[in-house]
Amino acid sequence: TANLRETADEDAKKLELLSLNDKVEIIEKTGDWYKVKAKGVTGYLRQDLLEVSEEVKNVNEVSKEEATETTETSNIAETTQTSETEQNAKNVETGKKFIVEDTKLKIVPVINATDIIEVKKDEEVNVIETVNGWVCVETQTTKGWIRADKLKEEKTVEEKQPEQQQAEQNNEENQATTLKTLYVNVAKVNLRKEASKSSEVVDNLTVNTAVEVVSEENGWSKVKVNGKEGYIASTYLSDKKQETSRSLEKPRQSQNTESAPAPSGKGNTVVETAKMYLGCKYVYGGTSPNGFDCSGFTSYVFGLHGVSLSRTAAGQYSNGAAVNRSDLQPGDLVMFKKGSNINHVAIYIGGGQIIHAQSPSSGVSISTMNSGYYNTYYYGARRVI
């Protein structure tokens, strides 16, 4: 392509865009420029852009009349880039526009010109100029030419079909109806990132915290609470709030009485709290989920329910009140003695089973108390809640 300019100057205004093999009528020669007429427009073309059939004399050598008599038809021989961005070019329409459909930008405004990049539907471009139905546009990365009919003023706003709108509404309603509110039923429970006891802890929730259950699978509930989302073992959730007691509201000193009080009804809650730490490792002297020994485990669990226990197994045998083995209830402490000292303590969970920080190889685990070691060396029990 070549620019037909208003005067014989590279910076002159562009009057028309001519293409390869377009014929022009030469009027005169001025230095390195030809004054020509093309497409009904008179202007100037650089000499090197024309292939001339016979010599044209310089305007200084012949009169304009003679130059007119020797006018010949000529063909454009070479191309020059037309991506100049003069704002005063003919038919320039500047401003933001949007692409109608996926279209390739051309390096020059010719239908079979080399493609630069593809611009996508609704992509925003900046219009620099228009020539003969072609538009020079600028994207975020490059400039190129595109047909004017590939542009529009605004993005396409796709209207949703009534069926699609109804389907989305139904989905929202279904989601709303599937959410149900449950309550934490233990003193403290971990909200985990994934449905696994080893997963990262997102938050700690306390008894009677309300959660929205999104789904349930394999014993875990996916919940939303306090703007967070995570997983809780389903057994730690109930559809009703738990009755609070002093043992859950504030710490109290354990009692040392000679007769066992009636079960408070909170023993099962203690058991559920203890089960949260199944799999934690055994560490001698340990008193936290990072590692427990037997009395460190019982002290930690009951401490979450506001009950202070002595630090050692022997010391805990002096806490609370004595309980006959036949009267054991979930949540009672059970002690074992091998040799001269009480050397192990566990929490009774019912059905002849106990939960305890057992050993370095087993960690926090559940064992049977009615046979083997724990049956042989059973020593006594205390009720502290």
Q: Which of 136, 280, 294, 305 is catalytic?
A: 294
Catalytic status, residue 305: no
Instruction: Transcribe 4-47 into DSSP letters.
Output: EESSSSTTSPEEEEE-TT-EEEEEEEETTEEEEEETTEEEEEEG
Rounded distance between C-alpha atoms, residue 267 and residue 205, angstroms: 19
Query: CB neighbours of 105 closer than 8 A, spacing ≥ 6?
Result: 115, 116, 117, 118, 119, 137, 139, 142, 143, 144, 145, 146
CB-based contact 12:37 (threshold 8 Å): no
Gap between the Cα atoms of 65 and 135, Å rounded: 39
Which residue do the tokens 């999104």 mark? 214
The residue annotated as part of the active site, out of 136, 280, 305, 344, is: 344
Interior CA angle at 216 toward 214 and 218, to 5°? 155
CB of 146 closer than 8 Å to CB of 105: yes
Amino acid in position 302: F
Q: Is 294 a catalytic residue?
A: yes
Q: 3-state DSSP call for residue 316? A: helix
Question: Which residue, 78, 134, 142, 143, is CA-closest to 111?
Answer: 134
Token representation of residue 201: 């802890």
**Strand arrangement of the beta sheet that strand 151-152 belongs to:** 115-119, 103-106, 143-147, 134-138, 124-131, 95-99, 151-152
Instruction: Choose, from 136, 280, 305, 356, the residue flagged as catalytic.
Output: 356
What is the torsion angle, in degrees rounded to the nearest 10, for the CA atoms of residue 111, residue 116, residue 121 and residue 127? -80
DSSP secondary structure string for all residues of 130-157: EETTEEEEE-SS-EEEEEGGGEESS---
Distant-in-sequence contacts of 36-39, Cβ < 8 A, 24+ apart: 36/4, 36/74, 38/4
> Which residues participate in catalysis according to the annotation?
294, 344, 356
